[in-house]
Amino acid sequence: MEKVLIVEDSKVFARILIRRIEDELFFDTCWASNFEEARYLLDENPDGNIYFVALLDLHLPDAADGRIVDYVISKGIPSIVFTGDVEDAVRDRVWAKKVVDYVSKESPDSLDYLCSLVRRISLNKFIHILVVDDSTTVRKHLVRLLSAHEFIVHEAGDGDTALNVLERHPETKAVITDYFMVVTSRARVFWASRRWGRSATATSRAAMSSLDST
């Protein structure tokens, strides 16, 4: 059974989080209180590949610089960072590591939000999404964001390719397409998506730029 990895030096916070995840979401958890314990679980435990998501404290006694985030991500595990440090510079540095999300411990709703993220990640890996954009840069950016959330992401640079992808992957649940793409291509993708019962959303380059800065 897949598990949730929790790396947190506060026993109180860790116990509350473990209880919420196990009692409400029914996932097993493994807890490490510092970097070395986490490294043991991932490197020396033969079942180290069973974690479908990790909840990581940014500042640990033996890795105060956030090294745990880089380490866990290098293992291919989607990572959610939670911390009491809400400075803009820290937030930007964490987002640059391509984490799933950055959650402040100071928020009264942080535990509810963490649990909702864990539930979402567990479901996302069964959902196919198609990204259609003629800009390689924008398309790759969207693919990266969605992949970080464990969606199964397909991509296409034009309408014809998008239609071929939809034919090959009828299980696709949503299509995200560029609002400013050639009108005929966009219309064909929208028409096909609606016809086959997919959700279709148009995005603009300006919206993607704004999203990247959050």
Structural domain total, the chain: 2
Q: What is the pTM of this model?
A: 0.78
Residues 98 and 146 grouped into a single domain: no
* Half-sphere exposure of residue 9: CA atoms within 13 angstroms, side-chain side: 15
| Domain hosting residue 174, numbered range | 128-212
pLDDT digits (tens, 9 = 90+) for 126-178: 999 999 888 899 999 999 999 989 999 999 988 888 888 888 998 988 888 87
What span, in angstroms and rounded, lies between the C-alpha atoms of 110 and 4?
17
Which one is predicted more confidently, 188 or 153?
A: 153
> How confident is the model at residue 72, as a pLDDT?
94
Residues 29 and 101 grouped into a single domain: yes
Residues 8 and 53 grouped into a single domain: yes
Residues 120 and 134 grouped into a single domain: no
Residues 75 and 140 grouped into a single domain: no
Nearest to 183 by CA among 153, 146, 158: 158
Residues 86 and 151 grouped into a single domain: no
Q: At which of 92, 124, 156 does a domain end? A: 124
Residues 63 and 32 grouped into a single domain: yes
Q: At which of 124, 139, 173 does a domain end? A: 124
Beta strands in 33-122, from DSSP E residues, in sequence order: 51-57, 79-83, 101-104
What is the DSSP-derived secondary structure letter of residue 145?
H
pLDDT digits (tens, 9 = 90+) for 13-26: 999 999 999 999 99
* Complete edge-to-edge strand list for the sheet that includes strand 199-203: 152-156, 128-132, 172-178, 199-203
